[in-house]
Every structure is written in C-alpha cells, then in structure tokens.
Amino acid sequence: MAQNTLNGVYRLQNAREMEAAFEFSGDGKFQFYFVYGAADRFANGTYSMEGNTLKLNSNKKPGTDFTVIRESKSGKGYTVVLSAPQANLVAGVVTGICLVGQEKIMQESDSKGIIHFDAPACDKIYLQHQIFPDVLTLIKDLGNDNNYFEAGLNEVCMQVSFMGIDFTLNEDTLTCLPNYFLPMPDIRFVRED
C-alpha cells in the first residue's frame, strides 16, 4: 500500500555547487530551500501523494513573476521595458517570448532591461527570468493590441511555484524529470535519517 504522507527532510544529491532540500510534515505541508550562487530560492505550501507521485501545491501563484505597470501603442514592433529594485536583476537575464501563431521568437533583455521584438505582429508575449526561472508570465494576450509594455519584477520571483513538476517516490528517494527550475539530469532528493 502506498503511503499518502511524507515526513522528514529530503536533500538534493549529486549537484555540484548547489544545495536544496524539502522538509515534509505529516500534516501535508512542505518547506523548500535552494542555494546556488546568487540564486537563493524557497517555497512552502501543501503536498499530496497520488500513488507514488508527489504533487506540490506551493503558496506562490504561478506566472506572477512580473506585473505590467503600463502599456500603450508606441513605435514599431513590440517593446517590453523591465524594472526592478536593482537594475542588474533585469539586465540581460530576462527572456521574452513572442508567439505569432505557432512561431516562437525569443529575445533576451539588453543591458538596460529592454526587450524588443522587431515583428509586425505578436499574438502573445511571455517573460521568464533566467536566474529565477519559474512558469512563464503572460504580458500580452491575443486580445491586447498594445505593443509597448513596462513590467516590474516582483519579489515573488525568489519563490518556486512547482507548477507542472511532479516527483516520484521510490523508497526514500524523490526523483523528477528535468524542468524549467531544475534543468539537469538525474534529479534525486534522498531522505535523511
């Protein structure tokens, strides 16, 4: 019979220069931390077990790393101007994705935190931080005909939503496939005694 709760600390194994761990309580709650250079991350929330599949429900709402501050029609193409409390948090580290039908155009922010798509049309625009990756944030949807956007980086970017990331429990080891947050192979969190 599969267990429906976890209890204890599960620590990331075989990851050089990186430390991460989950702490699960028997009442269905979890805490998570991740340390890798300047990219400290954390999460907390609830979890559930479906057979041997662990599903995390983080308190962070997915797709909320950026907020549109202002938008208008201005110039040609599509421009996103990013802001953050520290300019280096948006300079060269944010990827913009412009979708035109099935075509995907990707562009990184420049040294001033600006992303420009020299495209005559763009159905949707998404943003994702490269140092603090999580679920994409929708900036422009199909019904929005603006082409100039100012967007601010939210503090919540330090958290992880875990949306779409399921873990498999096998004895005392949690594994998952490479994903937007942990893109490396052989992801294993092992329970500490």
Mean pLDDT of 171-183: 94
Mean pLDDT of 74-89: 94
Q: Are residues 183 and 100 in the same domain?
A: no
Q: Report the CATH number that the domain containing residue 143 is assigned in CATH.
A: 2.60.40
**Quick count: other Cβ atoms within 10 Å of Cβ 144?**
16
Whether residue 1 has pLDDT greater than 70: no
Q: Are residues 167 and 95 in the same domain?
A: no
Q: Are residues 78 and 13 in the same domain?
A: no
Question: What confidence tier does 14 reach under pLDDT thresholds 50, 70, 90?
Answer: confident
Q: Are 132 and 54 in contact (CB under 8 A)?
A: no
Whether residue 33 has pLDDT greater than 90: yes
Give dist(CA 13, CA 188) in Å, integer. 6
Does 184 reside within a domain?
yes
Whether residue 2 has pLDDT greater than 80: no
Number of structural domains in the chain: 2
The alpha carbon of 150 is separated from its chain's Cα centroid by a whole number of angstroms, namely 20
Q: Are residues 150 and 70 in the same domain?
A: yes
Does 3 reside within a domain?
no
Q: Are residues 185 and 123 in the same domain?
A: no
Whether residue 15 has pLDDT greater than 90: no
Mean pLDDT of 13-17: 84
Q: Are residues 12 and 52 in the same domain?
A: yes
Question: What confidence tier does 3 reach under pLDDT thresholds 50, 70, 90?
Answer: low
Residues of the domain holding 118: 66-158
Mean pLDDT of 3-29: 90
Whether residue 38 has pLDDT greater than 80: no
Question: What confidence tier does 178 reach under pLDDT thresholds 50, 70, 90?
Answer: very high
Q: Are residues 74 and 52 in the same domain?
A: no
Strand order in the sheet with 94-100: 103-108, 94-100, 124-129, 137-140
Q: Are residues 173 and 150 in the same domain?
A: no
Q: Are residues 166 and 124 in the same domain?
A: no
pLDDT given for residue 16 in this prediction: 80
Does 2 reside within a domain?
no
Q: Quick one: what percent of the chain has pLDDT higher than 90?
A: 89
Strand order in the sheet with 78-83: 66-72, 148-153, 78-83, 114-117
Q: Report the CATH number that the domain containing residue 170 is assigned in CATH.
A: 2.40.128.640
Give dist(CA 113, CA 173) in Å, integer. 40
Q: Are residues 70 and 149 in the same domain?
A: yes
The alpha carbon of 187 is separated from its chain's Cα centroid by a whole number of angstroms, namely 17
Instruction: Provide the mean pLDDT of the chain.
Output: 94
Determine the length of the chain.
193
pLDDT given for residue 154 in this prediction: 96
Q: Are 133 and 36 in contact (CB under 8 A)?
A: no
Q: Are residues 95 and 24 in the same domain?
A: no
Considering only CA atoms, give the Rg of the chain. Answer: 19
Q: Are residues 72 and 141 in the same domain?
A: yes
Question: What confidence tier does 64 reach under pLDDT thresholds 50, 70, 90?
Answer: very high
- pTM score: 0.91
Does 1 reside within a domain?
no
